Amino acid sequence: MTQAVVAGALVVAALNGIAGLLGAWVWYRGEPGAGAPGAFWVLLRVGQGSALTLAIAVGSLAAAGKHPRESLFYLYALLPLAVAFVAEQLRVTSAQTILDQHGLEDAQAVGTLPEPEQQTLVASVLRREMGVMALSALVVVFLALRAAGTARGF
């Protein structure tokens, strides 16, 4: 049982690591509109889904009376869900921050700008959102690796 939990945590770490590194690379290049960003968002959602699957599995094991020796395991296994939730909130806030910096009330106001400014503004929003989410995926990697390290005794 321990090996399956460790393997699950390592899968979560790997999927989020790939998404996080791809997102960081695209963010660094500053090209959020190219082909790689689509792959990033898909990989990010797959990584988030894997973290949710691990949390459900851990909850099922706990409900069945199987517990690890270290209680910290639960923190490391469940915290990625909180990280993803907070990151989604920061992603929304980051978009509004960009709009506020340009004196725009909401996303519809972007349509009133000339076309080149619209594209620049949208690229800035996408880049910031991608940076926030890539960072969250890399935090999940750390947490999943810690979960794998504390998953003894099931």
pLDDT value for 32 = 63
Span 32-56, pLDDT tens digits: 665 677 899 999 999 999 999 999 9
pLDDT value for 7 = 96
9 neighbors 148 (Cβ within 8 angstroms): yes
12 exposed, middle or buried (CB, 10 Å; 0-12, 13-18, 19+)? buried
Instruction: Classify residue 85: in a domain, yes or no.
Output: yes
**Cα(127)–Cα(29) distance, rounded to whole angstroms?**
10
pLDDT value for 54 = 96
Instruction: Classify residue 67: in a domain, yes or no.
Output: yes
pLDDT value for 84 = 96
pLDDT value for 91 = 92
> H helices of 64-114, where?
72-101
Instruction: Classify residue 21: in a domain, yes or no.
Output: yes
Domain, as residue range, for 101: 2-149
Instruction: Classify residue 55: in a domain, yes or no.
Output: yes
Instruction: Classify residue 154: in a domain, yes or no.
Output: no
How many domains, the chain?
A: 1
Residues of the chain with pLDDT under 70: 32-35, 154
Sign of the alpha-carbon torsion through 8, 9, 13, 19: positive
